[in-house]
Amino acid sequence: MVQARELSVPRRRAARTGARRRYAPRWRVLAVFLLPALLLYSVFIVYPLVSALDYSFFEWRGIRQTGFAGLGNYRDLLSVYPYDQQLWRAFGHNALFFGGTMLIQNTVGLLFALLLFRYGRGKRFLQAAFTTPYLVDPLVVGYLWSLLLNPTFGPVNALLDAVGLDSWALPWLGDTRTALPIVILVNAWQWVGFPMLMFSAALAGIPAEYHEAARVDGASAWQAFRRVTLPLLTPAIGVVSVLTFIGNFNAFGLVYAMAGSSGSPAGSTDVLGLLFYRVGFVEGGVEAIGRSSALAVLMFVFIFGVSLLATSYFRRRERRLV
Amino acid sequence: MTSARRAPGRVAVHLLLWGYAVVALLPLVVMLLNSLRPTGEIFTAPLRLPTSPTLHSYLKVWTDASFSTYFLNSLIVTGGAVLIGTAVSALAAYPLARHDFFGSRFLGAYFLAGLMLPIRLGLVPIFYLMDSMGLIDSLLGLTLLYAASGVPFCVFVLSAFYRSLPGELDEAARLDGAGEFRIFGQIMLPLVRPALASVTLFQFVPLWHEFLYPLVLLRSDEKFTIPRGLSQFFGEYTTDWSALFAGLVLATAPLFVLFVLATKQIIAGLTAGMSK
Amino acid sequence: MNPTLGENERNCGPKGSLMKRRWIAGAIGVLAVALAACAPGGGASDQGDKAGADKVTLSLWSWRVEDVKAYEKILAKFEESHPKIHVEFKPFQATEYNNILATGLSSSGGPDVAQLRAYGGLQPLVEADQLLPLDGKVEALSGFDAKLLEGSKGHTDGKIYGVPFAYQTLQVLYNKKLFSDNGIEVPATWDDMIAAAKKLKAAGITPFAVAAGPDATWTLPITHEIFGNARYGSTAFRDALVKGEKKFTDPDFTASVKLIKDLEPYFPKDVVAVKIPDVQALFVTGKAAMYPTGTFDLAPVLAADPSLELGIFQVPPPPGSPVTTPVTPGWADGSFGVNAKSAHQAEALELVKWMATPEFGQLYATELKQLSAVPGVTPSDPLLAEMAKNYAGNGAPYTLLVNFRYGQPNGDAVFRDEVQKMLTGQTDPEAVAASVQKGVEQWFKPGN
């Protein structure tokens, strides 16, 4: 604790004098920096998405608007069977998805980053190997793992049988208890390179004298990590957490590939992204556009709200700790 | 910290890391193996070594599916989009992260908002937008859309990196009389190079695989990107799993090249940071 | 920006004020375009304009990517007799086709003629006035089977919006060699069928190749129709449902759902994890003897192993069935309709008229190995001919598809999720039936 406080003095000063109460350039200069991104983003992303949000307040017959619906689409979503039940079930699964991913993917990513930080030969190869699954299309990843976990032909169960663990050979994606955890694990398998690279970059950004100071003070490896490294990783942890949250609550591709549009088996892997896809694109009712847009608005409000809160929380911690 | 305590720990670390490397790569090896054997064998023994490896499927995909055209289109669209998207985001993130000005908080949130919406939601309005601009069946339209879609992510990540740089840096430069553009170009940009490489990679990959928007916005075969072209090809040869795997390998291969280049940058940046 | 349509004519968007805003965004976009002028590509091209002065190019959209070559062959015949029309066949991914078509029909460069989904899937296009009604314009439609025409009608206005091209029938495919090897005859009664299944299972062969995995939930209502249509009472029950005289909670319907649970021991192990390619592989490689499925699977199965000796049978009515003769459930696959905004409507009508002729029907049946909806066309393939004969004699509706896909949630979707739940042991047939009833009640009003 003492060391950490002493160590952070130069940083603190920097934060007070420079990084926070800062110089503001002239508007013309700001415009050159900001306008290109603003223009591109506003025209091609914000404008269409705002139009889509607008759609949620209208009644639809196919692609034709027939009148103002007020909150009618929202009411339908929360009261029409089976969406009233599926909405909350999917929400719960998204929450589990996020919790599981933070616990597995991001913790393992941090562990790998730490282990590889001062790793000698083979570091490049290992970093590349861990990140490689990310390069493959989520739909293909889903297909490959379904093949590996197939109860009839798959090698995972064949292997378990071969080593005498045949009682462990479950139908995996066909079992309501194991399907969601499997999806979370495969997702972590694909994405673990992302937190690993983010944390590696952040670790490399910590000036070497901090580590040396800790070592001179005789701190154990764990103490050094807990008191020096971890607090300095706060910005990276913030970015990774918020992006994980957003990614998990918008999850679609991999779940779709592994569990189909209905979140097979028996809805045990259903997430909000699948529900949105079903209401808007699969079931094909004349009400599809209004209801699916309403669902997207609800998702947006929730995800955006939580992300803003989380970002400002991490900002505050950053300021306190750095 | 005695060496007696460290030795078994070292072994465990090696085992863990190299063991996981196998888990990370094995499924991809399966994909590669299945592209080298005839379809019949995929059904009977999908996970063994191919009995007589053949490049037949690659030949088929390359010629029958005019893969070379798709490849060029994908490269133009994705490469162009990532360049534009990263460039405008690197510019925009700088003042957002390092200056306090009226509305900076709001603008940060405005950019962040784009990350939260399921991209499928915009399908219908984007289609009409492109139609009104005459950008249906146009690679330019797709490039601009892709570039814009990367902006929220890039701005978010790059802001975090700009913020993590010590405040003395630009302060000292400013005292020396350097303008904002010089501070940005000569001090900030080189320092966030690893971050630039990361966001390039993390933008490039999903755009390279993007399937829905080319499907809706492109109409003619000579403008198809790889996912669009391959989906057509797989549709026509539904049962040809071997060709499917070959196509997937070909579609993924460029990403490996990019990845190697990008990690070189990322790692170079990381070591630079370490020696600092 | 657009050479063919003026701004006011392109009034196809969701609403006026949106149009205006879209236009403003468009203007900003032009700026962006100018900034990136070096990039490749250009505006939308209208290929119809490029052809000769009086030759018209029609764009024909379809979700059958796998049928490109067959359609090119078929359409070449049309062009022979109609030298002034050139037809361009443009297939799109089936899973995204509905959206592509809905947006495409309301924009420039859309299709002139399009393949349309049947029953509920057609309604969003009809309700948005995107299609041309064909009543009185295609005379041959009056000769079509009324059951099949139902699939291309507007649900509220009753007008016909497409020329049906094909229909599907449901039955059991079986492996003749496996039957004779195990001394099994084509079952004449339900009990015979169960006895045969037991015998096959004892011999280590999967009796029924049924999948209920993530990609296969849509086949569960099909499995239910094949085994249970007679048990719930077929057409008579459907009519009573539509009139509001009966409900899905009826004991007969519940009993028909229970059949799936009763047959589960004869499905592949862990059926909820089994995917469609798995069961196709099981059946094609002779590890499964019977494949309850639709006409659509005949061509793929034979493509995987052309030497397979196949037979078909209709499932004998289970004990207690209100209908005591075997039935063949079926439905209209889809139709070809005309874009209400087509610039070449006269030529487009020529094409759909031709699609109602026996010439097209025969070509379609031969090239695609499917059952043509055109009256009087007989398939040359003996198995297809048998399916056609069964449907003509004992045709029955696939009730959930034909009558209960006109609103959200559609009955079919609720049913498949609930049946999957039943197979994982989380619910029972009574609860499945109750859920389906509750789901369709959200929008279904009896008497329509």
Query: Using the beta-carbon criterion (under 8 Å), do A124 and B267 form an inter-chain contact?
Result: yes
Asked if C105 and C333 count as a contact pair (C-beta separation under 8 A), the reply is no
Pick C442's closest partner by Cβ from A64, A81, A266. Answer: A81
Burial class for A116, CB neighbours closer than 10 Å (0-12, 13-18, 19+): buried
Q: What is the reported pLDDT for B270?
A: 53
From the centroid of its chain, how far is CA C192? 32
Query: Using the beta-carbon criterion (under 8 Å), do A137 and B276 form an inter-chain contact?
Result: no
CA dihedral C218, C221, C223, C228 (to 10 degrees): 180
Pick B138's closest partner by Cβ from C41, C65, C99. Answer: C41
Average pLDDT over residues B249-273: 73
Asked if C294 and C219 count as a contact pair (C-beta separation under 8 A), the reply is no
Per-residue tokens: A91:
């929400």
CA–CA distance, C244 with C437 (Å, rounded to integer):
12
Answer whether residue A99 shows pLDDT above 70.
yes
CA–CA distance, C436 with C448 (Å, rounded to integer):
18
The model's pLDDT over A60-87, given as tens digits with 9 standing for 90+, comes to 988 888 999 999 999 999 999 999 999 9
Answer whether residue A248 shows pLDDT above 90.
yes
C337 compared with B114, residue with greater pLDDT:
C337
Peptide bond just before A25 cis, omega within 30 deg: no
Best residue of B121, B165, B204 to probe chain A, by most A CBs closer than 10 Å: B121
Q: What is the reported pLDDT for C448?
A: 53
CA–CA distance, A178 with C386 (Å, rounded to integer):
44
According to DSSP, residue C428 is labeled -
Kindly list the residues from chain A whose CB atom is less than 8 angstroms away from the CB atom of residue C127. 61-62, 64, 286
Within 10 angstroms of residue A304's Cβ, the number of other Cβ atoms is 17
Restricting to B residues 52-71, those with a Cβ less than 8 Å away from any Cβ of A are: none
User: Hey, what domains does chain B have and what are their CATH numbers?
Assistant: 54-275 (1.10.3720.10)
**Burial profile C102-137: b = 16 or more Cβ within 10 angstroms, e = fewer:** bbbbbbbbbbbbbbbbbbbbbbbbbbbbbbbbbeee
Average pLDDT over residues C245-258: 97
Query: Using the beta-carbon criterion (under 8 Å), do B116 and A147 form an inter-chain contact?
Result: no
Residue carrying structure tokens 């995909």 = B61
Answer whether residue C16 shows pLDDT above 60.
no
User: Hey, what domains does chain A have and what are their CATH numbers?
Assistant: 82-321 (1.10.3720.10)
**Burial profile A81-108: b = 16 or more Cβ within 10 angstroms, e = fewer:** ebbeebbebbbebbebbbebbbebbbeb
Q: What's the full length of chain C, in residues? A: 448
Answer whether residue B4 shows pLDDT above 50.
no
CA–CA distance, A153 with C273 (Å, rounded to integer):
12
Task: Tell whether B98 lies on the interface with A, counting CB pairs under 8 A.
Answer: yes
Segment (H or E) for C338: strand C328-338
Best residue of B25, B143, B164 to probe chain A, by most A CBs closer than 10 Å: B164
Per-residue tokens: B48:
């063994």
Query: Among B27-36, B229-238, C6-15, where is mean pLDDT lowest?
Result: C6-15
Categorize the per-residue pLDDT at C10 as very low, low, confident or very high, splitting at 50, 70 and 90.
very low
Average pLDDT over residues C200-212: 96
CA–CA distance, C72 with C88 (Å, rounded to integer):
8
B185 compared with C290, residue with greater pLDDT:
C290
Q: At what angle do helices B123-132 and C16-35 cross, to 10 degrees?
A: 70
Query: Using the beta-carbon criterion (under 8 Å), do B47 and A155 form an inter-chain contact?
Result: yes
Answer whether residue C20 shows pLDDT above 80.
no
Kindly list the residues from chain B whose CB atom is less than 8 angstroms away from the CB atom of residue A238. 160
Q: What is the reported pLDDT for C34?
A: 37
What does DSSP say about strands C206-208 and C288-294: parallel, antiparallel, or unpaired? Answer: parallel
Residue carrying structure tokens 């679609």 = A252
CA distances from B181 to A18, A25, A87, B92, B184 (A): 18, 11, 49, 12, 5
Q: Is residue C448 helix, strand or coil? A: coil
Q: Which residues are bridge partners to C330 per DSSP?
A: C169, C397
Pick C272's closest partner by Cβ from A51, A265, A291. Answer: A265
CA–CA distance, C348 with C63 (Å, rounded to integer):
18
The model's pLDDT over A203-243, given as tens digits with 9 standing for 90+, comes to 877 877 887 787 778 888 888 888 888 888 888 899 899 98
Q: Could you please report the per-residue DSSP string of B99-131?
A: ---TTHHHHHHHHHHTTSS-GGGGHHHHHHHHH
Segment (H or E) for C310: strand C310-313
According to DSSP, residue B74 is labeled H
Which range in B251-255, C116-120, C299-303 is most confidently predicted, on average pLDDT?
C116-120
Q: At what angle do helices A288-321 and B104-113 cross, to 10 degrees?
A: 130
The model's pLDDT over B203-219, given as tens digits with 9 standing for 90+, comes to 898 899 988 889 888 88
Asked if A296 and A219 count as a contact pair (C-beta separation under 8 A), the reply is no
Kindly list the residues from chain A whose CB atom is less than 8 angstroms away from the CB atom of residue C21. 47, 51
User: Hey, what domains does chain C have and what are their CATH numbers?
Assistant: 47-167+331-385 (3.40.190.10), 168-330+395-441 (3.40.190.10)
